[in-house]
Amino acid sequence: MKPEKTVVIDYKTGNLNSVCKSLQAAGADLIVTTEPEGLRNASRIVLPGVGHFASTERLLSSGIGDALRRRVADGIPFLGICVGLQWLFAGSTEAPDTPGLGIFPEICERFPSGIKSPHVGWNSLEVAGHSRLLDGLPASSYVYFTHSYRAGRVNATTAVTNYGGEFSSVIEKDNWMAVQFHPEKSGAVGLKILENFMRVSTC
Amino acid sequence: MLTRRIIACLDVNAGRVVKGVQFVDLIDAGDPAALAVRHAAGGADEIVFLDITATHEKRALLLDAVRRAAEQIFIPLTVGGGIRSLDDALLVFDAGADKVSVNSAALARPELITEIGLRFGEQAVVVAIDGRRNLGSPETAQVYASGGRKATGLGVIEWAKQAEARGAGEILLTSMDSDGMRSGFDCELTAAVSAAVQIPVIASGGAGNVGHFADVFTRGCADAALAASIFHFGISDARTLKQELAAFGLPMRLPC
């Protein structure tokens, strides 16, 4: 049997330390890549996200986006984190000239004025559909957020969070899975979510 | 619902945790990484290491503590103190910090806030402000640099707004009037800063009991509060503190 490798995409923004450590704690055998070729032997793929939507530009220009579509169509589970969730949408008003991957046609927008932004801290997940990522977690579990832009609720939304209205905090469509919060910073709840991702069937 | 945060703060000198009263009188109280793990297990929502090491040569000891802590905790870790440049910040992020807190260096060169934000995201930049108002109104509070030793002539509220405009992700506001007194946070100053900016404000300085935390979250409109000495000598852990605050009706991350 081929050894299972989880590939973390490094698009040169923020730091990957926390994501890598927590995935390892969840049992992942990791490879970090900056190139589309790096996805070839992946059993699972993780796109961390800290920073500006414009920094995702490299993902499409380098061919990572196309490679990723092929791999996920082949049945490889994908997990996007924070900007990694937003990138699955058509775009974000944070960087109107940078298209997203477009798995979902909507556009991410900034929190409305009148509430503090970024939304920083621990907020609860309200289950909105059958979720593999949240399997075994109590209702309204708390996770750590830090972001100024968010995606509205879509058909694939499996959990929402309330802050200046409802937004998508977990999205799962086939093997496209994404979370707006930081599981790597969300204590035991976050580790459980990563473990659940590591258990999603790869065939 | 977004909870209010209880942040455990450890003052670190030459790689060891110390307890500060009015920035002097330091007592050694242990290994930062071990204490960080203890606080995370005790229900703290975040951990802050504040490095007060005077000599640059001993920074390696802090970085080692950050590295060891980051390997063992899965909640946000902020590191502040002595971050003078983007390179200093880089070392701290490389060691595993999620956010850096900048103070004097940002006062000397506010561009530093923007530079770190561009590289690591605005959420990763906490601007720490040490303010003192004596008996004046919050609007008269002045910013102090260099660990509270140097008056800058800059207003606290003015500097908080400027830091936000430069791309700060959060403000960590320490009241020098209250710090170490255990007589409560400066709620008026915290409320004034919180109203002046759209980014979260972390209150620091003066906690002596649970009621002080309830006050700063309600009257002070703080998004988070820093707790230091209240934990070190077994008064309470974050979980106990949060349970009591939840009983006041404040949203807290529980169970934790």
Confirm whether B253 is domain-assigned: no
Confirm whether B156 is domain-assigned: yes
| Structure confidence at residue A201 as a pLDDT band (50, 70, 90) | confident
Cross-chain residue pair B123–A15, CB shorter than 8 Å: no
Q: Which residue of A has its CA nearest to B72?
A: A21
Q: Is the dihedral of CA B234, B18, B33, B173 positive or negative?
A: positive
Cross-chain residue pair A51–B121, CB shorter than 8 Å: yes
Q: Which of B4, B169, B224 sits opposite A118 (nearest CB)?
A: B169
Q: Is the dihedral of CA B98, B157, B250, A141 positive or negative?
A: negative
Chain segment B185-205, per-residue pLDDT in tens: 999 999 999 999 999 999 999
In order of B52, B97, B176, the CA distances from A171 in angstroms are 43, 28, 45
% of residues, chain B, pLDDT over 70 = 93
- For B181, the domain range is 5-247
Q: Which of A50, A121, A188 sits opposite B120 (nearest CB)?
A: A50
Confirm whether B75 is domain-assigned: yes
Name the pTM for this structure: 0.94
Number of structural domains (chain B) is 1
Answer whether B120 touches A (CB < 8 Å).
Answer: yes
Chain segment B7-63, per-residue pLDDT in tens: 999 999 989 888 643 333 334 458 899 889 888 999 999 999 999 887 777 888 999
The H-or-E segment that residue A71 falls in is helix A64-73
Mean pLDDT to the nearest integer, A139-166: 97
Tally DSSP H helices, then E strands, for chain B.
10, 12
Confirm whether B20 is domain-assigned: yes
Give the ipTM: 0.92
CA distance B249 to chain A (A): 16
Chain segment B170-181, per-residue pLDDT in tens: 999 999 999 988
Confirm whether B216 is domain-assigned: yes
Mean pLDDT to the nearest integer, B107-125: 93
Burial of A46 (0-12, 13-18, 19+ CB in 10 A): buried
pLDDT exceeds 90 at position A96? yes
Residues near A162 by beta carbon (within 8 Å), at least 6 away in sequence: A123, A124, A126, B1
- On whether the CB atoms of residues B100 and B89 are closer than 8 A, the answer is yes
Confirm whether B135 is domain-assigned: yes
Q: Which of B45, B75, B223 sits opposite A116 (nearest CB)?
A: B223
| List of chain A residues whose C-beta atoms are within 8 Å of the C-beta of residue B1 | 123-124, 162
Q: Which of B51, B88, B130, B237 is catalytic?
A: B130
Domains of chain A: residue spans and CATH: 6-199 (3.40.50.880)
Provide the CATH number for the domain around residue B97: 3.20.20.70
| pLDDT reported for residue B27 | 46
Cross-chain residue pair A116–B198, CB shorter than 8 Å: yes
pLDDT exceeds 60 at position B125? yes
Confirm whether B254 is domain-assigned: no
Answer whether B48 touches A (CB < 8 Å).
Answer: no
CA distance B39 to chain A (A): 12
Q: Which residue of A has its CA nearest to B122?
A: A51
